[in-house]
């Protein structure tokens, strides 16, 4: 059975609150960073591709101008150093491929590349077209295809792992720190609660909360609590004293003073003289809920029961005379 | 105007690539008239040299003086070369082709193409040119070893041999990109070549 949050102990509540706040703040910060990194990654990926393309283009001007396939192939083969490059080719203005790099099976139709110098994302790859110029004359075009998704997912994986790590570490740190720091708040409240529990369990009004010397709200509460305890203690003492006096008075009377439940007729109190009177101890008067009807003389019983119910309903003073059977069988 | 130029360059390059790609087959098919494919490519090469070689400012009389490509001897290009460089301007210098007969005095130019007809006069021509900023180009065997700066050789396609010492001696600068696609050749008379000779 799960406990609802409001029933949790204060310490756990504060820990949960701290963790929730920390988690929310961290998540918000991480989300912002994440977004920034994604945009940044895309931007840098394009810039890297442009740089790479620029270098290849610069180096291949002579190869293109002199139609040197071997040199062009060698220049493109330097792309081996960059595993994310899937395909590249150098094409003359007449659309003849002079050199190729990469797996021809992965090669894309050149129609899918942008026409002018531009980037295009197709099927998770970045396609880049770069016209190669020398002194404002186009010598040919470089087509470059880089695997964007692989790098992107790698970044996502790295960031997710990092985020989980940071969340766990900060959770542990927050739990440790809040455990330490929350004691300042929770300990006085817990001690106040403990004092209240002792008062409740033992009816001991002499205990006092030790949190009363604090200047904060808990101190105010503890002082009010201690003041209340003092008043209850003195009133309790006075009450006990007056009860003892009353008991002595009642027990010294030559007669039985009793108290009864008006509905059930069960005795809730009977003075000490009750034992002398019928021979039953006061405890038995109280213990047996049908004590009164049991001791009534059988002839008076139905009349008395009816008369009594009337009296209770009318709530008037009364005086009845009836017969009862004592413990030793005497009729009184 | 630019569009026109570009399209013409593109045509040249297309032709060049076509010849290079189809290579020997086209050449073989045209073997009755070997000039057709081979010199088309060589003409484009000459034009391209102007883009990958830097001349010192002293090579020109003014900042917009023409860049003269001189053909010495029996011209194998015909109008192909004129077409390849027509209306082209390199670093503010318009390209101009001039032709000279064998035996003519060594002309004032920035690039000199020495034809096969003047093969035997190579040493004499180079001697007259010594230290002048003129890019010497030839297309016969061992021309680079004998002191020409660039030699165009036909193997399965047109290749370049560059005599870097001769280029540096004349105060010219060849782009490393061009050097990357060429074969470097040591001239016969260099100390290193002499040292290896027993």
Confidence band, pLDDT 50/70/90 cuts, at residue B196: very low
> B45 vs A66: CB contact, 8 Å cut-off?
yes
- State the best of A55, A57, A59, A65 to mutate against chain B, taking most chain B CBs within 10 Å: A65
Q: Are strands B135-138 and B150-154 parallel, antiparallel or unpaired?
A: parallel
Burial-class residue B53 by CB neighbours within 10 Å (0-12, 13-18, 19+): buried
> What's the mean pLDDT in A59-75?
90
Per the CB < 8 Å rule, is A59 touching B48? no
CA atoms within 13 A on the CB side of A286: 13
CA angle A51, A57, A60 (to 5 degrees): 140
Sheet holding B150-154, edge to edge: B89-90, B93-100, B67-72, B111-114, B135-138, B150-154, B158-162, B183-184
A67 touches B at CB < 8 Å: yes
Selected residue with higher pLDDT from A260 and B147: B147
User: For A197-237, how does the pLDDT look when each residue is reduced to its tens digit (9 = 90+)?
Assistant: 888 888 888 888 888 888 888 888 889 989 998 999 899 89
Do the chains contact at B91 and A135, CB–CB below 8 Å?
yes
DSSP state of B30: T
A66 near B CB under 8 A: yes
**pLDDT over 70 percentage in chain B:** 77
- The predicted-structure confidence for B57-116, as pLDDT tens digits, reads as follows 999 999 999 999 999 999 999 899 999 999 999 999 999 999 999 888 888 999 999 999
> B181 and A71 in contact by Cβ < 8 A?
yes
Rounded average pLDDT over A54-75: 91
| Residue B174 at interface with chain A, using a CB cutoff of 8 Å | no
Q: Which of A90-99, A297-306, B28-37 has the lowest mean pLDDT?
A: B28-37
Contact residues on chain B for A138, CB-CB shorter than 8 A: 6, 9-10
Place of tokens 């370049």: B160
Three-class SS state of B111: strand
Nearest to B51 among A63, A96, A135 (CB): A135
Quick check: A331 and A297 in contact, CB under 8 A?
A: yes
- Of residues B21, B45, B175, nearest to A96 (C-beta): B21
Q: Does A62 touch chain B (CB under 8 A)?
A: yes
Q: How many angstroms away from the CA of B78 is the closest CA of chain A?
A: 21
Q: Do A138 and B10 touch (CB under 8 A)?
A: yes
Residues of chain A contacting B2 with CB distance shorter than 8 Å: 136
pLDDT at B9 over 70: no
CA A263 vs CA A95, A296, A311, A319, A324: distances in Å: 112, 17, 11, 19, 21
pLDDT surpassing 60 at residue B22: no
For the segment A153-175, the average pLDDT, to the nearest whole number, is 89
Q: Do A92 and B17 touch (CB under 8 A)?
A: yes
The mean per-residue pLDDT over the stretch B149-159 comes to 89
Q: What percent of chain A has pLDDT over 90?
A: 27
More confident residue, A271 or A97: A97
* pLDDT interval class at A279 (50, 70, 90): confident
| pLDDT, averaged across chain A | 86
Phi and psi torsions of A270, nearest 5°:
-145, 130
Residues 6+ apart with CB under 8 A from B97: B68, B69, B70, B71, B81, B82, B85
| DSSP assignments along A132-161, one per residue | EEETTEEEEEEEEEEEHHHHHHHHHHHHHH
Look at A94 and B90 and tell me if their CB atoms are within 8 Å.
no
Distance separating alpha carbons of residues A129 and A115, to the nearest angstrom: 7
A241-272 pLDDT, tens digit per residue, is 999 998 888 888 777 777 887 777 788 888 87
Q: Which residues of B83-95 are buried (b: 16+ CB within 10 A; e: fewer)?
A: bbbeebebeebeb
B10 near A CB under 8 A: yes
The upper half-sphere exposure of residue B40, i.e. CA atoms within 13 Å in the direction of its Cβ, equals 21
B159 membership: H or E segment, kind and range: strand B158-162
Exposed e or buried b per residue across A159-191, where buried means at least 16 C-beta atoms within 10 angstroms of its C-beta: beeebeeebeeeeeebeeebeeebeeebebbee
- Higher-confidence residue: A331 or A79? A79
State the helix-helix crossing angle for A148-181 and A10-59, rounded to 10 degrees: 150
pLDDT average, residue stretch B3-26: 44
Q: How far are the Cα atoms of A206, A208, B31, B102, B109 from residue A237, in angstroms, in the given order?
A: 11, 17, 135, 143, 131
Pick the range with the lowest mean pLDDT from B3-12, B82-91, B179-188.
Answer: B3-12
Mean pLDDT across the stretch B32-42? 68
Judge: B52–A65 Cβ closer than 8 Å, yes or no: yes
* The pLDDT value given to residue A328: 82
A71–B5 C-beta distance less than 8 A: no
Say yes or no: A77 contacts chain B, CB-CB below 8 A: no
Query: With an 8 Å Cβ cutoff, are A67 and B157 in contact?
Result: yes
Which of chain B's residues have a Cβ under 8 Å away from the Cβ of A59? 177, 180
State how far the Cα of B185 lies from the Cα of B143, in Å rounded to an integer.
10
Residue B14 pLDDT class (50, 70, 90 cuts): very low
Q: What is the pLDDT of residue A2?
A: 60
Cross-chain residue pair A94–B17, CB shorter than 8 Å: yes
Q: Give the mean pLDDT of B8-37.
A: 43
Closest chain A residue by Cα to residue B42: A66
Please check the confidence at residue B35 and state whether its pLDDT lies above 50.
Answer: no
- Mean pLDDT within B54-59: 92
**Measured between beta carbons, which residues in chain B are less than 8 angstroms from residue A66?**
16, 45, 48, 158, 160, 178, 181
The span from the CA of B129 to the CA of B134, in Å, is: 7
Judge whether A70 and A138 are in contact, CB under 8 Å: no
Contacts of A160 (CB under 8 A, 6+ apart): none
Residues of chain A contacting residue B48, judged by C-beta atoms under 8 Å apart: 62, 65-66
Of A28-42, A80-94, B182-196, the one with minimum mean pLDDT is B182-196
Would you say residue A32 has pLDDT above 60? yes
Enter the tokens of residue B116: 């096969």
Q: How many CA atoms lie within 13 A of A19 on its CB side?
A: 15
Query: What's the rounded Cα separation, in Å, for the pair A182 and A179?
Result: 6
Query: In what helix (H) or strand (E) does residue A238 lie, and over which residues does it extend?
Result: helix A217-252
Give the whole-angstrom CA distance, residue A108 versus residue A127: 9
What is chain B's Cα-based Rg? 17
- Are the C-beta atoms of residues B149 and B163 closer than 8 Å to each other? yes
For A212, how many CA atoms within 13 A lie in the half-sphere containing its CB?
13
User: Is B18 an 8 Å CB contact of chain A?
Assistant: yes
Q: What is the C-alpha to C-alpha distance for residues A93 and B10, in angstroms, rounded to an integer?
A: 6
């Amino acid at each position: 059975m799960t406990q609802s949050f409001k029933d949790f102990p204060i310490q756990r509540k504060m820990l949960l609150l701290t963790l929730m706040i920390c988690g929310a703040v961290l998540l918000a910060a991480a989300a912002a960073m994440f977004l920034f990194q994604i945009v940044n990654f895309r931007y840098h990926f394009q810039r890297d591709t442009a740089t790479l393309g620029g270098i290849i283009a610069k180096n291949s001007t002579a190869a293109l101008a002199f139609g040197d396939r071997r040199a062009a192939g060698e220049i493109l083969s330097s792309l081996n150093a960059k595993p994310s490059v899937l395909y590249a080719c150098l094409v003359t203005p007449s659309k003849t491929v002079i050199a190729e790099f990469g797996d021809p099976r992965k090669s894309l139709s050149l129609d899918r590349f942008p026409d002018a110098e531009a980037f295009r994302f197709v099927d998770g790859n970045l396609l880049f077209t770069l016209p190669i110029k020398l002194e404002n004359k186009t010598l040919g075009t470089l087509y470059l295809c880089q695997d964007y998704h692989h790098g992107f997912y790698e970044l996502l994986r790295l960031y997710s792992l990092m985020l989980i790590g940071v969340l766990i570490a900060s959770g542990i740190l927050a739990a440790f720190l809040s455990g330490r720091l929350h004691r300042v708040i929770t300990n006085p409240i817990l001690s106040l609660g403990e004092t209240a529990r002792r008062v409740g369990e033992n009816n001991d009004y002499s205990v006092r909360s030790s949190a009363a010397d604090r200047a904060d709200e808990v101190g105010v509460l503890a002082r009010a609590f201690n003041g209340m305890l003092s008043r209850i203690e003195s009133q309790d003492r006075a009450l006990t004293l007056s009860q003892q006096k009353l008991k002595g008075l009642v027990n010294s009377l030559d007669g039985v003073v009793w108290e009864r439940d008006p509905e059930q007729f069960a005795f809730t109190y009977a003075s000490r003289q009750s034992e002398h009177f019928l021979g039953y101890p006061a405890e038995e008067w109280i213990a047996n809920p049908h004590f009164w009807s049991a001791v009534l003389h059988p002839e008076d019983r139905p009349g008395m029961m009816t008369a009594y119910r009337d009296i209770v309903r009318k709530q008037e003073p009364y005086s009845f005379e009836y017969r009862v059977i004592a413990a030793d069988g005497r009729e009184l | 105007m630019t569009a026109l130029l570009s399209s013409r360059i593109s045509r040249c390059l297309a032709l060049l690539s076509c010849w290079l790609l189809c290579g020997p087959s086209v050449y073989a098919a045209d073997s009755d008239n070997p000039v057709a494919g081979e010199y088309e490519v060589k003409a484009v090469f000459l034009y391209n040299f102007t883009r990958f070689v830097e001349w010192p400012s002293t090579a020109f009389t003014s900042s917009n003086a023409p860049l003269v490509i001189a053909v010495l001897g029996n011209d194998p290009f015909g109008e192909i070369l004129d077409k390849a460089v027509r209306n082209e301007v390199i670093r503010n210098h318009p390209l101009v082709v001039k032709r000279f007969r064998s035996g003519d005095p060594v002309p004032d130019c920035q690039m000199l193409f020495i034809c096969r007809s003047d093969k035997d006069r190579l040493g004499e021509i180079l001697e007259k040119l010594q230290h002048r900023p003129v890019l010497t180009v030839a297309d016969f065997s061992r021309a680079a070893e004998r002191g020409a700066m660039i030699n165009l050789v036909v193997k399965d396609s047109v290749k370049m041999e560059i005599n870097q010492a001769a280029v540096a001696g004349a105060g010219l600068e060849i782009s490393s990109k061009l050097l990357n696609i060429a074969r470097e050749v040591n001239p016969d008379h260099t100390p290193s070549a002499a040292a290896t000779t027993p």
